[in-house]
Structure 1
């Protein structure tokens, strides 16, 4: 196995890389992401932020973290061509750079380097928000989140149908409520777009109390929408929950074997693996 392929499997935390040095590296990356999230939270506390000692600790930790994330980012770009789904050469690396996870990785380090080029504190404060993208990187290693992503992709047609019906009901109910309440409360139910806020907080059973019907017909209709909202939002929840349990049962019965030629770990439930020697070999 080439060094580049080993780097790819190590960083991607594949079945081949879930042991030894690669396991320690991925645990270290997750730990750094976790401590970054803690640092972002603590940095908003005035007593901590205004302390010079703590501020210096935050700065040093930021520099070390960004340095590690930068090295990881370029190693991923360099080794991404080992992924069978990505073409070799600069075109494959370019497609990876604009992929979802690569953009997340880039946004995690971009604010630090950009703030070195500007002294505008307003821009710096805005860019600090982008540091939160480092937290999204943890989802790369979270098995449960990967399962949910798989479930959503497998049931996307059913979920799309459910949410389309929810949005359709939201627009219809808000439009009807506007005509029922506009003459009584012209400032709150001033337009259909403004009444959409009432529809959202009613169908989700949040009920902030800032907008509510006052006419008898409006109250009756509002009650119908409230009950209907509970039933509608239960549909996608049930689809995701059943798909999640099905995926867990499927993963428990999944077995892997290692290809004796390329050392790839093969999922026996997927298409049969055929080893094809490459020019690198």
Structure 2
């Protein structure tokens, strides 16, 4: 049973890194998710075709069955994940069920079962069914990288969003007191003025509500200039974190490549491990080839430099042992002199 569970975990979580079966299942699930999102979009179009609605319902039932089996299989095999293991298997599975991706897997099948037990608003069900698009994040290294950056930079992004919220409140309050008397319908309250503040700070400028007083125009100009840098803070934090995460992944792959080429040969096992690491980190084949090429060149340069240093030391030692006058090796002269002395003593 444990071997089956390990195989299930490897197929669902490792996928194409394992074998063709894992790759085929991943492709099937990605295609099914994409078709589900397409069906939700097409269902919103007005149509009186009964056969079409029947086909959509049958496809929905088929999709829910597949997604339910996938969800149960992931929960069952989750204890094979070293990062999830936590005491008793039940608690490990509960811990997995509370992870973001597992919650998304649950939410995409929940509307179907809710509709069987109670009357559910069709619009609410469609919104929840659209969450199936987030299942694609599991199969996209770029999306997983983005989620990783969001978790890492959560505090910085939260601080930037708090600053933006404070600026929105300040801007809407100031423009309300400046424009309320002149435009009581457009700026009838501070919450109503927040629409103008958001549109102005994000430089959209729809033009449906504009200040007409001199004080309002001055405040609008100041707010527009102040918001240019503050509103862009979250995007800058995300871009910086994204670049840093990409560099970290490249460094991780470079370390693994360096370890593989230390003996001068990359065998089949090491190559398979490198390919698996490349797919896990989301590094393209071209980048991986460049990293391998650069690592091999650096390794050859280090070996060449080490050999040159060794040769240089040998040459220096030989040069230092030569007589400055006759340029004969000093040690050879000493051995020759001692041999001559021993011969003279024997003749006597």
Tell me the TM-score normalized by structure 1.
0.83
Matched length? 257
Distance 2:97 2:146 in 1: 24
Candidates 41, 52, 55, aligned match of 2:53:
55
Q: Give the whole-Å Cα distance in 2 for the aligned partners of 1:61 and 1:26.
A: 19
Higher deviation after alignment, 141-150 or 245-254: 245-254
Q: Distance in 2 between matches of 1:124 and 1:148?
A: 32
Of 227, 241, 244, the residue aligned with 1:243 is 241
Distance in 1, matches of 2:234 and 2:99, equals: 27
Cα gap change, 1:239/1:231 in structure 2, threshold over 3 Å: closer, same or farther?
same
1:25 equivalent in structure 2: 25
Q: Deviations over 1:202-222 (max 9, x none)?
A: 101122223221101101211
Query: Which residue of 2 is the match for residue 276 of structure 1?
Result: none
Shift of 1:125: 4.1
1:108 aligned partner = 108
Alpha-carbon offset, residue 239 of structure 1: 2.1
Q: CA deviation at 1:177?
A: 1.1
Q: Deviations over 1:241-271 (max 9, x none)?
A: 2222232233234335889xxxxx789xxxx
TM-score with structure 2 setting the length: 0.68
Structure 2 portions without partners, runs of 5+: 261-268, 271-275, 279-348
Correspondences of 1:117-266 after superposition (within 5 Å): 117-118=117-118, 120=119, 123-255=121-253
CA distance in 2, matches of 1:214, 1:132: 43
Instruction: Give the 4+ runs in structure 1 shifted more than 4 A.
Output: 256-259
1:41 — aligned with what?
41
Aligned residue number for residue 65 of structure 2: 67
In the alignment, is the contact (CA less than 8 A) between 2:150 and 2:238 conserved in 1? yes
Equivalents in 1 of 2:147, 2:124: separation in Å?
29
CA distance 1:129–1:157, shift in 2 (3 Å): closer
Alpha carbons 1:115, 1:124 under 8 Å: kept: no
Q: How far is 1:160 from its partner?
A: 2.4
Task: Measure how far apart 1:182 and its partner are.
Answer: 1.2
Instruction: For CA contacts below 8 A with separation 6 or more, give which structure has more relative contact order.
Output: 1
Q: Closer, same or farther in 2 for the Cα pair 1:125/1:152, shift >3 Å?
A: closer
**C-alpha contact (below 8 Å) 2:16/2:26 kept by paired residues:** no
Q: Tell me, yes or no, if the aligned pair for 1:182 and 1:190 is still in contact at 8 Å.
A: yes
Question: Over aligned residue pairs, what C-alpha RMSD do you find?
Answer: 2.4
Match for residue 10 of structure 1?
A: 11
Aligned to 1:91: 91
**Using the alignment, how far apart are the partners of 1:43 and 1:104 within structure 2?**
22
Q: CA deviation at 1:27?
A: 1.3
Q: Provide the rounded CA distance (Å) in 2 between the counterparts of 1:205 and 1:167.
A: 16
Give structure 1 stretches of 5+ with no counterpart. 260-264, 268-281
Structure 1: distance between partners of 2:99 and 2:248: 28
Higher-Rg structure is 2
The alpha-carbon distance between structure 1 residues 94 and 150, as it changes in their structure 2 partners (threshold 3 A), is: closer
Q: Which has the higher helix share?
A: 2
How far did residue 161 of structure 1 move?
2.5
CA contact (8 A) 1:13 1:23 kept: no
